[in-house]
A and B are shown apart, each in its own frame.
Chain A
Amino acid sequence: AEIELTLSHWVPGTHPLQVTGMEPWAESIKQASNGRIEITIYPAQQLGAAADHYDMARDGIVDIGFINPGYQPGRFPILAAAELPFLFENAKAGVAALTEWYKPYSETEMADTYFCMALSHDPGTFHSTSKILVPEDVKGKTVRPANATEARFVNLLGGASVQVSAAESREVLAKGAADMTQSPWESLYIFGVDSIVTHHLDMPLYASINAFIFNKAKLEIMSEEDRQVIYDHCTPEWAEKMSSGWADAEAAGRDKIAADPKHTLWKPNEEQVQMWKDAAAPLTDEWKETIRKAGGDPDEMLNGLIEALKARNSYAGE
């Protein structure tokens, strides 16, 4: 191929995101460019640590990086809006709305890379080694939070966080460095922690955000035509396609866990759900404060995201 692109990510090569997302996406790019663009996928942190993937794509160590902006707290404050709890009703249409909403902001917040698309998974929740039903159950516990916003949440609830990437969550849980983790359901199996955390909070709590970004210089040396192929594959629609297989897999994971007698699902009643919502309320205030300090208008940003989600029927609120 004329143009060979390296795509680096940090989940296992067998992850549904690679198998049902990245591989068909790369194949489609190859087809659309008549074989001129070929993408090689390097899974499982082969080329660098999970949290370094933004820098790696920016610096040209790789051409395409799969990042979790929440692994570096404070670095991408606007995108962090999407990490606020109780926003996403579902992942599939939600990521299309998210990609659409964030694209203009990415030109300032991720100015040194090209933002392709944002992804999310089916909403995740707490998984614990002991009972987890109300916010009080997190107090005094050590948690592997899914992202920086959730780390603040854990801190507000009186717990401490052990922030490692999903790829390393097994190690900290097995060693007892963490009592709980946060993830969507199928990921418990993907990262092999299903035998360790046997108690689960049975409610959609948060969404973690991921994104695909490109090295800018690499795009610039491509022909106009090839660049257009990439642009055509960095759309809200592709974001939806990319995350569909993953979302289905994660959702199926809940049924698998529910059917397993080793596991206990704790389903909060209406009152208890409200307790979680109240506990999470300060997160939104904190986030708004951060944006205001940086000179942005948080209400406009958040309303924009909510409108985008509503337009695609994927807003969790009223």
Chain B
Amino acid sequence: MRHILEKFCTGVEIIAGVLLGLCTLLIVVSTAGRYLLSWPVPDAFDISRLLIGACIMWGFASVCYRGGQIAVDIVWELLPRRGKIVLDLFAWAMLFFFTVLLAYQTYFRVASAYRSNEGTFDLRIPVWPMLGLIWLGCAAAVITLLFAFSRVRAGRDLGQHQEPFE
């Protein structure tokens, strides 16, 4: 079972990484088109920002599983091992609660785009499939968080240091 979970989460990560690669490529191509050939790629603007959105939400799913969000450790550091686990479980519950709300609510954004024929600006490509891809990242986060629960409960998070980014 653990094996399958690990595979699922690795899959999520690879999807997210590949999306970022695609997006980098798209912007490189559209930049080259714009400056070298005077041929701007139509809808590069809309598609690249929607793609980045998808990367980020799929990446969110990955981070939900592996951990590493910025959190304040001051109280946590003072607690014994059991206390640390309790605090981590609480934090996990809040993250899970927020993510479930987010996935539930953003579903309506996708549905509304589907019903209302929203399109991209240049070519009027419907935007709901892209929003749907972003939403799938959200839904994947709910699943990866469920997987993360057992790890947090077992205290296997404790040795892991945070990865801040500034």
Contact = CB atoms under 8 A, between A and B. Distances in A.
B122 A155 contact: yes
Interface residues of A, number: 20
Interface in A40-88: 55, 72-75, 77
B160 interface: no
Contacts of B161: none
Interface in A150-179: 151-152, 154-155, 159-163
B116 A160 contact: no
Nearest to B116: A75
B136 interface: no
Nearest to B115: A75
Contacts of B109: 55
Contact of A162 (B45, B120, B124): B45
Contacts of A282: none
B112 interface: yes
A159 B120 CA distance: 15
A44 B43 CA distance: 27
Interface string B87-121: 00000000000000000000001001000111111
A152 B117 contact: no
A197 interface: no
A159 B41 CA distance: 9
B78 interface: no
A155 B125 CA distance: 13
B122 A160 contact: yes
Nearest to B120: A73
Contacts of B21: none
Contacts of B121: 73, 145, 148, 151-152, 161, 163
Interface of B: 34, 38-46, 109, 112, 116-124, 126
Interface of A: 55, 72-75, 77, 140-142, 145, 148, 151-152, 154-155, 159-163
